[in-house]
C-alpha cells in the first residue's frame, strides 16, 4: 500500500544541537505507527516539522506521494495533518463548541451563527461518544475530555494524518481506554496515525509498527508480527540493554520522621493521617483525580489545610506557606513543569539554585556565585541533565531534562522529607535509572520520600510501602511484599 505520509532525509539543527539527523519515516493509511525514543531523541522535533512550526534544513515531506511545503502551522492543518500535543492547545475561557470550531466558526456576513455552531459541535461530540455539553467552558473539563476535544478539532478539519504526543501521560485508566478505542476507530477509517509514547504496554496494544529514534537518528523499524520484543525495543532506544530499571535496595528504617494527623482540605473527602519513617520510600498511588496532588500541596504548605497537623521530626509545621514548610524540612517537587515548576526564561543554574542559594549567600543577600555554579554542575552531572551548559535557558531543554532540573532544585535543598509528584514523568529509561539510584541514596542518608506516581511498575519497583488514594481519601496502606499491581489497581479503582 502506498504510504499516506513520508518524511525523507529530514534534518533539523537547533544552534549547536542536531535535533534530527537525516531521518526518514513512512506511515501507511490505516496504521498506528509508534514512535519511541528517549528524551532528546528527536520525537518532538519531528512533530514540529510535521506541524509546520519548524522548517527542516534538508529533506521533504510527502502526503499521498505529493511533496508538501509547510512554512507555517496553517499549511499543515490545511494539508490534513493534525498534531495532538501533550500540552493541549485549548482556550479554557471559551466554550466547548467555540474551541472545537475555532478558526472555522460558521458565520453569515461576519455574524456568528450560534445555532449552527452548537449543532456541528454536538454532532462531532456524538461521533466521539463524549457526553459533553457543547456550551460548557473548557476550563471545567477533565484533561481526558479536553484531549477528546483536540481529537474532535482534528476530525472537524478532516485530518488524514494524526500525530499523538504521549496522549495518555495525564489520563486516568478509564480515559486511556476510551482514547484507545477512538484511535482504533480512526485507524479503521483509514487515517494514518503517529503515536509517540514511552509506555510499552500501549505499544503492544495499539501499534502496528514502531520506529525508534535515538539522538536525532533513525535507529530501526520494528514490525508487530507476533508482538514486540520489549528488550529489543529498550535496547534500540538506549543503545544497550537494561535489566532492572528500578534497582530496589532494601535498607533499615529509622524512627517516624513525617507524621500527618487528620489533615483536611480542598480535594480531600476524608481526613488523611499517615506516618513515614526515616529512610523510607513511600509510594502514593491512585488514579488521576484521586486527591494525591491535593494531598501533596497540603503537606508542603502550598494550600492551607482546613484542619489537622503535620509534624516533621516531631516538630509541628507551620503550614501556611511553602517557605515555612521548606524551612521545617519538607518540600514538594511539583509535577506541572510549566505552571509550577520552572522559570522558563531563566538558566539551568538559576532554576536549580532558585531555593537553595540563600544558604550560601553572605549576609543573606550576597550571592555566592562559585557555590551556585558548583551546585548546578553537581546536579547536572548527578542527574545527567542534557544541556549545553548550566547557563542555558531551561526552555531550550527537552521535557525530561526540564523535569530533572526541577528535581535537582529540591534535592539541593536542606530538607528531610521529599514529596515528589510524578518525578519521572516524561523522563527516559536511561535517565530514570539514575533518578531511582539517587532516590535510594537519599533514603539511605535518612531522608523520607513520598513519591506520587501513576506508573504502577514504578511504584511497585521502588517503594517500601504503597499508600493508595481513591476519590479524595486514603484507602490502602500496602507493604512492599503485598504490593502487586493487581492489588493496587483494585484498591485504586472506584467500586
Binding site for another protein (CB under 8 A): 15-17, 215, 238-240, 242, 300, 302, 321-323, 325-327, 331-332, 334, 339-346, 350, 353-355, 357-358, 361, 364-367, 369, 380-381, 384-389, 391-392, 409, 413, 430-431, 433-434, 437
Distance CA 421, CA 297 (A): 10
Tell me the closest approach of the beta carbon of residue 434 to another protein, in angstroms: 7
Residue (113 or 321) nearer to another protein, CB: 321
Residue (40 or 56) nearer to another protein, CB: 40
Residue (76 or 427) nearer to another protein, CB: 427
Helix H or strand E encompassing 435: helix 429-444
Distance CA 486, CA 490 (A): 6
Give, in degrees to the nearest 5, the angle at Cα 173 between 101 and 118: 20
Q: Reduce the DSSP state of residue 188 to 3 states and report it.
A: helix
Residue (182 or 419) nearer to another protein, CB: 419
Residues paired with 467 in a beta bridge: 284, 477
Distance CA 472, CA 465 (A): 19
Tell me the closest approach of the beta carbon of residue 421 to another protein, in angstroms: 10
DSSP string, 241-308: --S-SS--------SEEEEEEEEE-TT-SS-EEEEEETT-EEEEE--TTSSHHHHHHHHTTSS--SEE
Tell me the closest approach of the beta carbon of residue 321 to another protein, in angstroms: 8
Residue (168 or 353) nearer to another protein, CB: 353
DSSP state of 226: T
Tell me the closest approach of the beta carbon of residue 121 to another protein, in angstroms: 32
Residue (228 or 410) nearer to another protein, CB: 410
Tell me the closest approach of the beta carbon of residue 386 to another protein, in angstroms: 6
Phi, psi dihedral angles at 193 (to 5 degrees): -125, 130
Tell me the closest approach of the beta carbon of residue 247 to another protein, in angstroms: 8
Distance CA 179, CA 145 (A): 10
Residue (94 or 344) nearer to another protein, CB: 344
Grid cell, residue 53, equals 512550526
Q: Where do the H-state alpha helices sit in 129-249?
A: 143-156, 173-188, 200-206, 230-238
Tell me the closest approach of the beta carbon of residue 100 to another protein, in angstroms: 29
Tell me the closest approach of the beta carbon of residue 135 to another protein, in angstroms: 29
Residue (115 or 381) nearer to another protein, CB: 381
- Name residue, grid cell 554542575: 377
Task: Look at strands 31-36 and 192-196 and give their pairing.
Answer: parallel
Residue (291 or 341) nearer to another protein, CB: 341
Q: Is 144 exposed, middle or buried, given 0-12, 13-18 or 19+ CB atoms closer than 10 A?
A: buried
Q: Reduce the DSSP state of residue 415 to 3 states and report it.
A: coil
Tell me the closest approach of the beta carbon of residue 383 to another protein, in angstroms: 8
Task: Decide if 153 contacts 88 (C-beta within 8 A).
Answer: no
Amino acid at each position: 500500500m502506498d504510504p499516506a505520509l513520508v518524511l525523507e532525509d529530514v534534518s533539523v539543527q537547533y544552534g549547536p544541537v542536531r535535533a534530527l539527523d537525516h531521518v526518514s519515516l513512512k506511515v501507511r493509511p490505516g496504521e498506528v505507527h509508534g514512535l519511541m525514543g528517549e528524551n532528546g531523541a528527536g520525537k518532538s522535533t519531528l512533530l514540529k516539522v510535521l506541524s509546520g512550526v519548524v522548517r527542516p534544513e534538508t529533506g521533504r515531506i510527502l502526503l499521498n506521494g505529493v511533496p508538501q511545503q509547510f512554512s507555517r502551522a496553517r499549511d499543515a492543518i490545511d494539508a490534513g495533518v493534525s498534531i495532538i500535543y501533550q500540552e493541549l492547545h485549548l482556550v479554557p475561557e471559551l466554550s466547548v463548541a467555540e474551541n472545537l470550531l475555532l478558526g472555522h466558526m460558521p458565520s453569515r456576513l461576519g455574524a456568528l451563527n450560534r445555532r449552527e455552531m452548537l449543532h456541528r459541535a454536538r454532532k462531532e461530540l456524538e461521533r466521539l461518544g463524549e457526553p459533553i455539553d457543547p456550551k460548557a467552558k473548557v476550563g471545567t473539563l477533565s484533561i481526558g475530555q479536553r484531549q477528546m476535544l483536540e481529537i474532535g478539532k482534528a476530525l472537524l478539519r478532516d485530518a488524514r494524518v494524526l500525530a499523538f504526543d504521549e496522549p495518555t501521560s495525564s489520563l486516568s485508566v478509564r480515559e486511556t481506554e476510551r482514547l484507545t478505542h477512538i484511535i482504533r476507530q480512526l485507524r479503521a477509517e483509514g487515517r494514518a496515525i503517529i503515536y509517540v509514547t514511552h509506555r510499552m504496554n500501549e505499544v503492544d496494544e495499539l501499534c502496528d509498527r514502531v520506529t525508534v529514534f535515538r539522538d536525532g537518528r533513525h535507529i530501526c523499524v520494528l514490525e508487530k508480527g507476533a508482538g514486540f520484543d520489549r528488550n529489543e525495543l529498550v535496547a534500540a532506544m538506549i543503545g544497550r540493554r537494561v535489566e532492572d530499571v528500578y534497582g530496589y535496595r532494601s535498607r533499615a528504617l529509622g524512627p517516624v520522621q513525617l507524621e500527618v494527623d487528620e489533615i483536611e482540605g480542598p480535594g480531600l473527602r476524608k481526613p488523611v493521617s499517615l506516618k513515614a519513617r526515616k529512610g523510607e520510600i513511600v509510594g502514593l498511588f491512585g488514579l488521576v483525580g484521586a486527591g494525591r496532588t491535593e494531598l501533596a500541596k497540603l503537606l508542603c504548605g502550598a494550600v492551607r489545610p482546613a484542619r489537622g497537623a503535620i509534624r516533621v521530626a516531631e516538630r509541628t509545621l507551620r503550614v501556611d506557606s511553602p517557605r515555612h514548610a521548606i524551612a521545617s524540612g519538607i518540600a514538594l517537587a511539583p509535577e506541572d513543569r510549566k505552571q509550577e515548576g520552572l522559570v522558563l526564561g531563566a538558566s539551568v543554574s538559576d532554576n536549580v539554585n532558585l531555593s537553595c542559594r540563600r544558604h550560601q549567600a553572605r549576609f543573606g543577600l550576597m550571592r555566592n556565585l562559585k557555590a551556585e555554579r558548583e551546585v548546578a554542575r553537581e546536579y547536572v552531572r548527578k542527574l545527567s541533565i542534557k544541556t549545553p551548559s548550566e547557563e542555558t535557558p531551561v526552555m531550550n531543554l527537552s521535557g525530561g531534562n526540564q523535569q530533572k532540573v526541577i528535581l535537582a532544585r529540591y534535592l539541593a535543598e536542606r530538607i528531610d522529607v521529599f514529596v515528589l509528584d510524578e518525578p519521572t514523568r516524561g523522563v527516559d529509561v536511561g535517565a530514570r535509572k539514575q533518578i531511582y539510584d539517587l532516590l535510594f541514596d537519599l533514603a539511605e542518608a535518612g531522608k523520607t520520600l513520598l513519591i506520587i506516581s501513576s506508573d504502577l511498575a514504578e511504584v511497585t519497583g521502588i517503594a517500601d510501602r504503597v499508600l493508595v488514594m481513591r476519590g479524595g481519601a486514603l484507602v490502602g496502606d500496602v507493604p512492599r511484599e503485598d504490593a502487586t499491581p493487581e492489588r493496587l489497581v483494585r484498591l485504586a479503582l472506584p467500586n
